[in-house]
Amino acid sequence: MSFEIKITKDYDGIKPKSFLKKKLDLSFFKIPRLIKDKRITINGKKIKEDTILKDGDILKVWPNDIKLREVKKEFREKKDLGLEIIYENNDFIIFNKLSGVIVQGAQDNSKSLSLHLAYYKDKIDDKSDFEYFHVHRLDKDTSGALVVAKNRVALRELNKIFRTREIKKKYLALVVGKPKEKEGMIEVFMKRNPEGSREKMSIVSENDSLSKKSISLYKVISEYEKEGNIFSLIEVEIKTGITHQIRVHMKSLGCPIVGDKMYGNSYINQEYNEVLDRQFLHAKSISFTFDNNLYNFEADLTEDLKNFLEYISD
């Protein structure tokens, strides 16, 4: 048995994975596998990496044990997660996301961004039928600048901007040790590891058919020493948007991110766990041109990261 989902204007211009993670009652980790196995198709064809949804497209889903999420708007759960608004206009909002907030999938989770967006839409008395929608993703334990569209026209345009990489995104990462060079470029090929692997992504040969090129520019901002341990605060500008890119890139320099439970230094993580219980990675700034206007937004470090810098500065 199978069922079909017809794409409406609300989701015109976004990627199938983002849509499916929002609509299917399923762990979002399983969706890429279903797409690869052609158990989810678009207009009768395989969904490719560069596929973009258009109004009228038909997604067909074959698994027998998967259902659509049933979210009745009149009873939709709402929750204030305390997210700071950096900027807002009629088309989009820039939030300073907190660590622990889940951007996509897991809508029934008490820390899901969708709960806060429903709360905020109600708070400002926006009675439109469009559900505010994130334009890009930040990992659960990464904080910082996050763009959310407030209408379908803005969503289509912002998705196009992000898809064509007409943006500049910079992050701050505190790493263990210090790189051999104070600044440089990291250009490696990455791919997703098999399900069940300790690390989700790894660096591979460019000849690997499943690999994708990843590029980051980095610069050491400052250095710290605490109890014999050396740390470096690094600004990273990403030129590509591969999953866990910065975390893998920093590890490739021999300087894993402090608090990173997947790619990090377990000894350092354990030693400082009581002071910082998540990875020190923050989306510092984001710049893009929208409707012929250039925007540049800065997201202040969250309190937990500020406190940790003060702690290792003593």
What range defines the domain where residue 33 resides?
3-61
Domain identity same for 114 and 174: no
Inside any domain, residue 66? no
Q: Give the residue among 95, 159, 144 at the shortest CA–CA distance from 285.
A: 144
Q: What average pLDDT score do residues 224-242 get? A: 96
Catalytic annotation on 139? yes
Whether residue 59 has pLDDT greater than 90: no
The tens digit of pLDDT for each residue in 64-86 reads 667 676 554 444 678 999 999 99
Domain identity same for 26 and 141: no
Domain identity same for 303 and 191: yes
Q: Quote the pLDDT of residue 3.
A: 82
**The one catalytic residue among 57, 139, 141, 260:** 139
Number of domains in the chain: 3
- Using the 3D structure, point to which of 124, 144, 163 is the last residue of a domain: 163
Whether residue 54 has pLDDT greater than 70: yes
Q: What average pLDDT score do residues 294-298 get? A: 98
The CATH number covering residue 254 comes to 3.30.2350.10
The tens digit of pLDDT for each residue in 107-157 reads 557 899 999 999 999 999 999 989 899 999 999 999 999 999 999 899 989
Q: Quote the pLDDT of residue 75.
A: 46
